[in-house]
Amino acid sequence: MEELNISKLNDPCLLIRLSEIERIVSLFKEKNYQILKTKEVNNHIHTIYSFSPYSPSMAAYLAWQAGLQTAGIMDHDSVAGCPEFVSACKRLGINSTQGFELRANFSGTKVEEKKLNNPDSKNIGYIAIHGIPERRWNEVEKFLKPIQQMRNRRNKEMVEKLNHLIENWGIEKIDFYPDVYAISQAKEGGSITERHLLYALAKKILQKTGKGKSLLSFLQDNLKVDISEKLTIFLLNQGNIHYIYDLIGVLKSNFLDQIYIQPNAQECISVFDAVKFANDINAIPAYAYLGDVISSPTGDKKAEKFEDDFLDQLIPEIKSIGFKSVTYMPPRNTFAQLQRLQRICRKYDLMEISGVDINSSRQSFHCPIILKPEFSNLVEATWALIAHQKLVNHNEKYALFNNCNPLLKKKSLREKIKIYAEMGRKINANNPEKTIEKLSFSL
412 lies in a domain? Answer: no
- CA quadruple 7, 12, 15, 16: dihedral sign: negative
Instruction: Region of 32 please: left (phi>0), alpha (psi -120 to 50) or beta.
Output: left
At residue 102, the 3 state secondary structure works out as strand
Q: Residue 88: which CATH number?
A: 3.20.20.140
Same domain, 124 and 229: no
427 lies in a domain? Answer: no
195 lies in a domain? Answer: yes
Same domain, 245 and 371: no
Same domain, 140 and 152: no
Same domain, 377 and 274: yes
Domain of residue 161 covers 147-259
Same domain, 171 and 189: yes
Which of 228, 259, 290 is where one domain is finished?
259
Same domain, 156 and 116: no
pLDDT in tens, the chain (443 residues): 556 789 999 999 999 999 999 999 999 999 898 888 999 999 999 999 999 999 999 999 999 999 999 999 999 999 999 999 999 999 999 999 999 999 999 999 999 999 999 988 999 999 999 999 999 999 999 999 999 999 999 999 999 999 999 999 999 999 999 999 999 999 999 999 999 999 999 999 999 999 999 999 999 999 999 999 999 999 999 999 999 999 999 999 999 999 999 999 999 999 999 999 999 999 999 999 999 987 554 444 567 889 999 999 999 999 999 999 999 999 989 999 999 999 999 999 999 999 899 999 999 999 899 999 999 999 999 999 999 999 999 899 999 999 999 999 989 999 999 999 999 999 999 988 877 777 665 56
Same domain, 194 and 248: yes
291 lies in a domain? Answer: yes
Q: Pinpoint the alpha helices (H) of 281-331.
A: 311-321
365 lies in a domain? Answer: yes
Determine the Cα–Cα distance for residues 227 and 216; give it in Å rounded to an integer: 8
The burial class, CB within 10 Å (0-12 / 13-18 / 19+), for 301 is middle
The burial class, CB within 10 Å (0-12 / 13-18 / 19+), for 55 is buried
415 lies in a domain? Answer: no
- Residue 343's φ and ψ, nearest 5 degrees, are -60, -45
Cβ contact 132:151 at 8 Å = no
Q: Which amino acid is at 397?
A: K
- Report how many domains make up the chain: 2
Determine the Cα–Cα distance for residues 202 and 213; give it in Å rounded to an integer: 15
Which of 219, 240, 259 is where one domain is finished?
259
Same domain, 327 and 208: no
409 lies in a domain? Answer: no
Tell me the C-alpha to C-alpha distance, in Å, between residue 442 and each of 242, 326, 404, 423, 436. 50, 32, 18, 12, 10
Which of 199, 231, 259 is where one domain is finished?
259
Q: What is the 3-state secondary structure (H, E, C) of 136-193?
A: HHHHHHHHHHHHHHHHHHHHHHHHHHHHHHHCCCCCCCCCHHHHHHHHCCHHHCCCCC
Same domain, 127 and 272: yes
| Tally of helices (H runs) and strands (E runs) in the chain | 14, 7
At residue 329, the 3 state secondary structure works out as coil
Determine the Cα–Cα distance for residues 127 and 346; give it in Å rounded to an integer: 19
Same domain, 116 and 252: no
58 lies in a domain? Answer: yes
Same domain, 26 and 70: yes
Same domain, 169 and 252: yes
